[in-house]
Amino acid sequence: MTAEAVLDLSHPPSKPFRETLARLLGHRSFVIGGFLVLIVLIIALTADLIAPFDPLRNAARVRLRAPDSVYWFGTDHFGRDILSRVIHGARISLIIGGATVLMTGLFGTLIGAVAGFFRPLDNPIMRLMDALMAFPAILLALTVAAVLGASVVNVIIALSIATAPHTARIVRASVLVIRELEFVEAARALGASEARILLRHVLVNALGPLIVRLTYVFAIAILAEAALSFIGVGPPPPAPSFGNIIANGRDFMVVAPWITIFPGLAIIVTVLGLNLLGDALRDVLDPRMKV
Amino acid sequence: MLGFLTRRLAGAFLVLLLVSVLSFGIIWLVPGDPAAVFLDAGATPDQVERLRRELGLDKPLAMQVVEWYSRILKGDLGRSILLSRGVTEAIIERLPVTLSLAGISLVLSVVAGVAAGMVAATKHGQPVDQAVMAGALFGLSIPEFWLGLVLIVVFAVQLGVLPTGGFVPPTESITGWIRSITLPAIALAVVHMGFIARMTRAALLEVLSQDFIRTADSKGLTRLHILLRHGLPNALIPILTVTGIVAGSLLGGTVIIEQVFSIPGVGRLIIGAILSRDFPVIQGGLLFVALVYLTINLLVDICYAIVDPRVRLE
Amino acid sequence: MPAPLLRVDGLEVALASTGATIIEEVSLSLEPGETLGVVGESGSGKSVLALTVMGLLPRALARTRGNIQLGGDELTTLSPDAWRDRRGRDMAMIFQEPMTALNPVMRVGHQVEEVLMNRRGMSAGDARRRATALFERVEIPEPARRLAAFPHELSGGMRQRVMITIALAAEPRLLIADEPTTALDVTIQAQILDLLRDLQKERGLALLLITHDLGVIAEITDRVLVLYAGRVAEVAPARLIFDAPAHPYTRALLASRPALTGPRDRLVSIEGAVPSVGAMPPGCRFAPRCSFAIGPCMTAPPALIACAERHAAACVRVGELG
Amino acid sequence: MTRRITWSALAFAAAALAAGSAMAQKKGGDVVIAITQAPPAVDAHVTSAQAARNITLHIFETLYARDEKAQPQPELAEGVNISADGLTYVFPLRKGVKFHNGKEMTSADVVASLERYRKVGASATLLGQIDTVSASGPYEVTIKLKTVQSTFLDNLSSPRAPIAIYPAEEAAKAANQINYIGTGPYRFVEYKPDSHVKLVRYDGYSQNPKATGRDGFAGKKEVYLDTVTFRFMPEAGARNAAFEAGEVHLVETVDGPTAKRFANNSKIAIHKALPFALQVIKFNHAQAPGNDVNFRLAVQTAIDMEEIMAIAFADIYQMDPSWLYPGSHAHNDAGKARYNTADLKAAKALLDKSSYKKEKLIFMVDSGRQNVDTATVIQQRLKEIGIDIELKVADWPTVSKIGFTKEGWNFWAHGFGIEPYEGPASVMSPWVNGTSQQAKDEKIDRLFDQLNREMDVNKRKALFTEFQQHMWDNAIAMKAGNYGLFQVATTRLKNFTPYRIPRMWGVWLE
C-alpha cells in the first residue's frame, strides 16, 4: 500500500446543500436562466394584474390590429389583445410544463426505481419503455392526445407518457449504480426493509440526474404543447396558451404575423431560460451527463 | 460481431412485438371512426352504421387482432380505408419525401453542427466558443414549427424567393426539389444543429482532455495530426450517438414540419390517418416508424462496433 | 561532475485562473545515466513538475517563473512548436495509467510506428520492423501479433511495456516516468522496474522517476527529491534518505511506510491534511502538521539548507534534529 | 336556388359572355386548384365530403343533375316518364355516351350503379324509396318506388354523394375499390395521397345535346383546359402563398383579410361563393338544460348572431333567418322576430324561468377555425347572462361520433352546406326522428312526412315555412347566418364563376 492512500483524505460522498447552492449561484447559466424563468413565472402569477386587457374579451372593432401604442403585440381576429393573451398564456403553458414535470418525475422515478431495484421486473419494464421510446416523442404525444381528446389535463397526460420512459431509464441507471454502493449494502445489513432502502438512500442519491432531466422535460413540454396545439390537439380555446395562440394565428399568418410571432418569442425566452437552468444544474449536479 | 448483432436484433424484435401490441391497442381507445370522414355533418347514424359495415369496422375485436397479426407476420400492413391502396404502398410512396427531408436536414445539421462544435472545442473558453454555444442553445430553444411559419412569412411571402410549401420530387425537377425542400430542411435543421454542436464540443473537449492525447502530445506529434488521428476517431463515438438521436428526432420533427409546409410525407400520412381514423394506416404507420427508429438505433450500434474496437468484445 | 542533462531552476507553476501556486522554487539537476526519484504524496506537485518539464501543462496551469534547460538549451523561451519538436526525440514520458494513456481505438503497433515515422522519418516498413524489435526488447511475447492488438486486448503490464516502447521509440536522452508501476500488480511492478533500470543502463538515459512509493525509490534511484505541497522538502542521495532523513516530513513519510512483512492495508498516518492550493500557510508548509515546529517555521518558508554532500533540506531545524 | 342575388352581376356577365362567345376561348393549359382537404375517396358513391365532390363531379355524371337554380335536369337520361300513380319512373338514356374506357353507356351500367349505390352509397337513403331497378331496354331504365316521393328526382340528382353512373364492371366492386371511370368531361389520371389528384380533358366526352350553356352541375360542359390538378393544402398560409407564387391558379377558400389584401392586385380576381353554407348551432335536447325550451330560447335570444358571423366569416356572410338559401323557391322569413335579437335582458328573464342551474355545459366543435370561433363567441356572450360553457375541441371523427349520441355535449356548431342547396326536405331530414337534437319532435316528423308526399310546389313551401317557424319558436337549433367562401383566381383564368364546386368546364386560360 502507498502513502497516497494514507494521506489522501477522502471527501464525503454527497456535497452539502449549501455548497451546491453556492456553486449554482456562481454559475452564469444558472443566473441568466433563472432570471428568465423567474420573469416568466412572475408574469404568469401576476397575469391578472399586469395584463392590460381581458385576454378573452372579443372586440370586433379592433380585429387584426397591428402592434401599436395601445395593443403592443397587436390583436387577433376576435380583437383580443395578444399581449394580454401571451401574459395569460404563460400561466397555462407553465401549468402544463410544471404538471408534466411532476407526473414524469413521479411515474418516471417510480418505474425506474422499481426496474432498477427489483431485478425480476427490470427486463419486462424496460422493454416496455423501449417500445414507448421507439416512437418519436411528439408522435406518441400526438397519438395519445388524439385518443384522449384535447384538454389541458390530456395534454399533460400525453406529454408525460411521452417523456416518462426516458426519465425512468435515467433513474434506473442511477439506481443500478447506487444500489451496489457500500452504504446501501450497509443499510441492508442493518436490516432496513427494501422499500426504506429504496426511498431513503437510492432515490436521494439519484436526485441529481433526475432534477437535470426534469428541467429539460419542462422545456420539452413547453415546446411540445405548442406543437400539439398546432396540430389541433392542444389545450382548447378560448383560454390562451403559448401554443394555441400561435395555432389561432395560423390562418392569419400572412396578414397578421404578430399573432404568430409574439407567442413564439415567449416560448423561446421560456425554453431558453429552462435550458440554461438545465445546463447549470447538469454542470453542478451531474457533471458526467451529456447534453 | 455476429453474436453482438444477433443479440441486438433479438432485442429489437422483442421491442417491435411490444410496439405492435401498442399500435394495435391504441386505436381501440380512439373515439370515432373513419366513417365520419366519408360523410358530412348531415349524415345520420344509420348511414354511418352502413358505412361501418361496408368498411369492415364492425368485426369483433378478437377477429381483428387475429387478422392484424396474421397480416403483419406476412409483412402485409393491410389496406388503407381512405387512400384506396395498401398501407405498405402508401408508406413507400411517401418514404422518399420524408427521407429526403430528414436526410437533408440530417446532413445540414451534422455538417454545420460538427463544424461549429469543433471550432468551439478548439477555441475552448474563448469568445468564439461562447458565441457558438449561445447560438446553439438559442437554436435549441426555438419551436421548429414556429420557425417554419416564420420562414414562410419571410422567404416565401415577403421576399417571395422560395415556395411556401408542397413538394416537388427530384425526378420532376431538381431545382424545384431543392427549392421546395430548402425552408423545411432549415426549419428542421436549426434545432438539431444546436444539439449536435453542443454534443460535438462536449465530446471533443472530453476526448482532448484525455490521457492518450497527452501521450500523443508527449510524442511531439503535430497538433493537426493529434486532432485528426487521435481526437476525432475517439470523438466519433459520441458524435455517432448524437447523429443517431438526431436522426430519430428528425423523424419526429418531420411529422410537424410536413404539416407546416404541406409536404406529403410519412408524418402527414400518419397525422392524417389519426385525424381521419384510418386505422390500418395508423397501425401500420406507427409500426413502420418504430421499425425505422429501431433500425437507426441498430445502425448506430453497428457503427459503434466498427468505430470502437472495445464494443465488439462486450 | 559531468554537465547536467536537465537543469530546472526556481520553477514556479500557478493556476491560470487565481494565480495560486502549485509548485514554487523547485530546482533540480539530472545527469546522463542518472536516476532521480521525485517523491511526494498526491497534491505535492510532482506530476506537475514532470508535465512542466515536458511542456505539457494543461491549460488551467501556467509556468510563472523559473528556467528549464535541456542539454544546455533553454526550453522556456522556445515557441510551443519548437518545444513540441523536442518532445519524443530529446525527452519522452511514461504515464501512470497505461490503459488511458494509450489511444483505445488505435492498434498499439501503430501507436509506436507513428512515432518512428513522424519523428524519425522512417518508412512504414522500417517502422514496422523497428517496432517489432522494440517489442522484443521490452519482452513482449509474440511481438508481431501484439502489434495488431488494441490496448484493451492487452494486460496492464503489457500495456505499460507498450508505453515504454513508445517512449523509447524516438531514442530520447531524458525519460520521465510518472508513477509507471502504480497501476500494476506487485509482481508486474518489479518486472517493469527491472526493465526500466536495464534500459536506462543500456542506453545511458537520464531518468526522472516520479513516485509516491518509497520502495521504488529504494530499488532503482540514485538520488531523491522530496516534494511537499509544491516545495522541495529535501534532496539527497537515495541511501541517505533512508538512513539519515533530514526533514521532519521525510521522517514521517518513512514512518508511515509499511513494514515489508506487515499487513499492507492500514498504515500509521501523518496527522492533519496537506494544505490546499491557494490556502498555503505563510511559513513552512509542513509546519501545521509538524511536531517539531517552532516560531520561525510559521513566518517564512525555509530555504534549502545543505546538511551533507549533495544533501539538503528545507527545515530551519536541520542541524538540531539530525 | 333561383337567383344568386349577391353575385348576380357576375353571373349575368358570365352568362352573357358564355352565350355570346365574345371572348376567344383557347384550348390548352393546366390549372392547379388548391383545396383544403384531401378527398376521403374518389369513389363518388361512398362519400358526401365536399373535398370529394369537388373532384368527382368532374369525372362522373348522374342520370339527373341540378341546374344553376338547383332544379333537377336530365343529364345522362334523356328525360323521365312518371306513371300517373307516381310510383314508376321510366328513364330513357342518352345514346352514344362513352365512358372514359371507350365503352358506351347502356342500361346495364345504370342499373348496376344504382344497385351499388343502394348498397354502399354514403347517402343511400336518397334511394330509400326504391322498390326495384331494372333495365327495360338497352337504353331504358325503369325504377319502381315503394311509396310516392315528391323529392325522388331531387334525390337522384343530389350532388351530396353523387349517384354517379359507373361502368357495370366497376359497379360490381366493393366500396372504394373501383377504377375511376366515368362519363364526365374530365378523365382521372392520378391520385397522389396527401398531394393531389390530377385530371385530364376527356376528348371523347359527349355533350348533352339539349344543353345550351353552363348550368349548375347540368348543362353544357365544354372543356378547354388540358389538365386540372387538385392540390390538397390544409394550411391556409401555404395555400395563399402558393397562389401568390403562381403555383396555384385557384384557391377554394381564402379568409377575409387575405381576400382584402389580394383585392388590390390587378392580376387576382376575387370571387364570392355566397351563400355557401348555413352556420348552425345545435342543442342536445336529451340533456338538461337543452331539453328545456326556455333555456334554448334564452340562449337564442342572447346571442348576437352578427358578431359570430363577423368574427368567424369576416366580410363574407349574410344575415338571414331562413333555413334555405335566398332565391330558393321555399325561402321565407318565418321566425325573423326571433333571429339575431341579441337581447341580454330578455334572455336573462327566460333563463331565470328555465331549469338551468349554473352547471358547466359542453360546447363541442371540431377544430376548424370558424366553428371554434363560433363556439368562442357564444361562450363569451353567454357568460354575460351567467351560462357557464366549456369548449371541447376534437377532430371531426370524434365530434361527429359524440354529436349523434345523447351524452357528452350540450351545444354543437358546424356548417350546413349541401342541405339548403338540395332543398326543403334535406334541411328538415336531420331533425326527423330527433336524429340531430336527440329527442323526437312530433311536429317535425309530421311536417316531413307531409312534405314528402306533397307534389304541389306551393303547398310544399307552406309546409317548410311552418317547419322554419317551429325551429325558431322552440329554438330546436339555431342558425347564425349564411356564410360564403372567398375564392381567388388568377385573372388569366377566364369565365370562372364560383358554384358549389370550382367547375372547370367553360373556363380557359389566357
Q: Is B299 on the interface with C (CB under 8 A)?
A: no
Q: Is C120 on the interface with B (CB under 8 A)?
A: no
Q: Same domain, yes or no, for D85 and D212?
A: yes
**pLDDT (average), residues D33-39:** 91
ipTM of this complex prediction, to 2 decimal places: 0.78
What are the chain A neighbours of C257 within 8 Å (beta carbons)? 3
**pLDDT (average), residues D436-465:** 94
Q: Is D268 on the interface with A (CB under 8 A)?
A: no
pLDDT of residue B312: 55
Q: Is pLDDT larger for residue D261 or for residue D405?
A: D405
Neighbours of D493 (CB within 10 A): 21
3-class SS of residue D180: coil
Q: For B219-228, how does the pLDDT look when each residue is reduced to its tens digit (9 = 90+)?
A: 988 888 888 8
Q: Is pLDDT larger for residue D60 or for residue B23?
A: D60
Per the CB < 8 Å rule, is B41 touching D42? no
Q: For C92-112, how does the pLDDT look when each residue is reduced to its tens digit (9 = 90+)?
A: 999 888 788 899 889 999 999
pLDDT of residue B110: 92
Of D49, D161, D193, the CB nearest to B90: D193
Q: Same domain, yes or no, for D79 and D56?
A: yes
Q: For B229-249, how does the pLDDT look when each residue is reduced to its tens digit (9 = 90+)?
A: 898 888 887 888 888 888 888
Q: Same domain, yes or no, for D386 and D416?
A: yes
Q: Is residue D9 part of a domain?
A: no
Of A64, A150, A255, the CB nearest to D393: A150
DSSP state of D36: S
pLDDT of residue C18: 84
Q: For A58-92, how does the pLDDT look when each residue is reduced to its tens digit (9 = 90+)?
A: 887 888 889 999 999 999 989 999 999 999 999 99
Closest CA to D64 of D131, D180, D147, D164: D164
Q: Is residue A62 part of a domain?
A: no
Sorted by where each starts, the structural domains of chain B and their CATH numbers stand as 2-73 (no CATH), 95-313 (1.10.3720.10)
Q: Which of residues 412-431 of D touch B (CB under 8 A)?
A: 414-419, 426, 429-430
pLDDT at D213 over 60: yes
Per the CB < 8 Å rule, is B202 touching A246? no
Asked which of B186-195, B256-265, D359-368 is least confident by mean pLDDT, the reply is B256-265
pLDDT of residue B104: 94
Per the CB < 8 Å rule, is A227 touching B256? yes
Sign of CA pseudo-dihedral C36, C41, C42, C43: negative
We report the CATH number of the domain holding residue D328 as 3.10.105.10
Name the minimum distance, in Å, from the CA of B212 to any CA of chain C.
4
Name the minimum distance, in Å, from the CA of C277 to any CA of chain A.
14
Q: For D320-332, how does the pLDDT look when each residue is reduced to its tens digit (9 = 90+)?
A: 999 999 988 899 9
pLDDT at C308 over 70: yes
In degrees, rounded to 5, the angle at the alpha carbon of residue D194 between the alpha carbons of residues D193 and D200 is: 60
Q: Is A66 on the interface with D (CB under 8 A)?
A: no
Chain C residue at shortest CA distance from B314: C152
Q: Is residue D243 part of a domain?
A: no
The answer to whether residues D120 and D175 touch, using CB atoms and an 8 Å cutoff, is: yes
Q: Same domain, yes or no, for D222 and D101?
A: yes
Neighbours of chain D (3+ CB pairs under 8 A): A, B
**pLDDT (average), residues C213-241:** 86
Chain B residue at shortest CA distance from C178: B215
The answer to whether residues D254 and D222 touch, using CB atoms and an 8 Å cutoff, is: no
When pLDDT is cut at 50, 70 and 90, the band that residue D13 belongs to is very low
CA distance D424 to B278: 34
What domain count does chain D have? 2
Of B36, B84, B160, the CB nearest to D400: B36
Of D237, D307, D390, the CB nearest to A250: D237
Q: What percent of chain A has pLDDT over 70?
A: 86
Q: Is residue A63 part of a domain?
A: no
Q: For D64-96, how does the pLDDT look when each residue is reduced to its tens digit (9 = 90+)?
A: 999 998 999 999 999 999 999 999 999 999 999
Asked which of C182-186, C194-198, D424-428 is least confident by mean pLDDT, the reply is C182-186
Neighbouring residues of A38: CB distance < 8 A, sequence distance ≥ 6: none
pLDDT of residue C264: 41
pLDDT of residue D162: 95
pLDDT of residue D18: 47
Using alpha carbons, list the distances in angstroms from residue D492 to B282, D271, D495, D509: 42, 14, 10, 5
Q: Same domain, yes or no, for D338 and D374?
A: yes
Q: Is pLDDT larger for residue A5 or for residue D510?
A: D510
The answer to whether residues D324 and D420 touch, using CB atoms and an 8 Å cutoff, is: yes
Q: Is pLDDT larger for residue D321 or for residue C285?
A: D321
When pLDDT is cut at 50, 70 and 90, the band that residue C310 belongs to is confident
Q: For D177-211, how does the pLDDT look when each residue is reduced to its tens digit (9 = 90+)?
A: 899 999 999 999 999 877 899 999 999 999 999 88
Q: Is C18 on the interface with A (CB under 8 A)?
A: no
Q: Same domain, yes or no, for D444 and D505?
A: no
Q: Is B259 on the interface with A (CB under 8 A)?
A: yes
Per the CB < 8 Å rule, is C41 touching A4? yes
pLDDT of residue C109: 92
Asked which of A13-17, A122-126, A135-139, D171-175 is least confident by mean pLDDT, the reply is A13-17
pLDDT of residue D2: 36
Per the CB < 8 Å rule, is D122 touching B51? yes
Q: Which of residues 195-214 of B touch C (CB under 8 A)?
A: 209-212, 214
Size of interface A-D (CB pairs under 8 A): 71
pLDDT at D142 over 90: yes
When pLDDT is cut at 50, 70 and 90, the band that residue D6 belongs to is very low
Q: Which residues pair with C13 in a beta bridge?
A: C23, C63
3-class SS of residue D143: strand
pLDDT at A180 over 80: no
pLDDT of residue A287: 56
When pLDDT is cut at 50, 70 and 90, the band that residue B1 belongs to is low
Q: Is B220 on the interface with C (CB under 8 A)?
A: yes
**pLDDT (average), residues D27-53:** 91
pLDDT of residue B235: 86
Q: Is A187 on the interface with D (CB under 8 A)?
A: no
Asked which of B133-137, B264-268, D103-107 is least confident by mean pLDDT, the reply is B264-268
Per the CB < 8 Å rule, is A1 touching C258? yes
What domain count does chain A have? 1
Q: Is residue D269 part of a domain?
A: no
Q: Same domain, yes or no, for D496 and D468?
A: no
* Length of chain D (residues): 510
Q: Is A230 on the interface with B (CB under 8 A)?
A: yes
pLDDT at C258 over 80: no
Q: Is C97 on the interface with B (CB under 8 A)?
A: yes
We report the CATH number of the domain holding residue D136 as 3.40.190.10
Q: For B40-94, how does the pLDDT look when each residue is reduced to its tens digit (9 = 90+)?
A: 665 666 777 777 776 667 777 777 778 778 887 887 888 887 777 788 888 998 8
Size of interface B-C (CB pairs under 8 A): 83
Q: For A189-212, how does the pLDDT look when each residue is reduced to its tens digit (9 = 90+)?
A: 777 676 676 666 667 777 888 888
Q: Write out chain C in H/E/C secondary structure.
A: CCCCCEEEEEEEEEECCCCCEEEEEEEEEECCCCEEEEECCCCCCHHHHHHHHHCCCCCCEEEEEEEEEECCEECCCCCHHHHHHHECCCEEEECCCCCCCCCCCCCHHHHHHHHHHHHHCCCHHHHHHHHHHHHHHCCCCCHHHHHCCCHHHCCHHHHHHHHHHHHHHCCCCEEEEECCCCCCCHHHHHHHHHHHHHHHHHHCCEEEEEECCHHHHHHHCCEEEEEECCEEEEEEEHHHHHHCCCCHHHHHHHHCCCCCCCCCCCCCCCCCCCCCCCCCCCCCCCHHHCCCCCHHHHCCCCCCEEEECCEEECCCCHHHHC
Q: Is D241 on the interface with B (CB under 8 A)?
A: yes
Among C39, C42, C214, the residue to mutate for chain A (most A Cβ within 10 A): C42
Chain B residue at shortest CA distance from D241: B164
pLDDT of residue D373: 93
**pLDDT (average), residues A167-177:** 85
Q: Is pLDDT larger for residue A21 or for residue D31?
A: D31
When pLDDT is cut at 50, 70 and 90, the band that residue D42 belongs to is very high
Q: What percent of chain D has pLDDT over 90?
A: 76
Name the minimum distance, in Å, from the CA of B274 to any CA of chain A.
7
Of B209, B219, B313, the CB nearest to C119: B219
Tell me if there are at least 3 CB pairs under 8 Å linking chains D and C: no
pLDDT at B8 over 80: no
Range of the domain at D498: 26-235+492-509
Name the minimum distance, in Å, from the CA of C121 to any CA of chain B.
12
Read off the pTM. Answer: 0.81
Q: For C135-173, how does the pLDDT look when each residue is reduced to its tens digit (9 = 90+)?
A: 988 888 999 899 999 998 898 889 988 998 998 888 899
Chain A residue at shortest CA distance from C41: A4
Q: Same domain, yes or no, for D404 and D280?
A: yes
Chain B residue at shortest CA distance from C55: B218
pLDDT of residue D401: 84
Range of the domain at A191: 13-53+74-289
Per the CB < 8 Å rule, is D314 touching A256? no
pLDDT at D116 over 60: yes
Q: Is residue D148 part of a domain?
A: yes
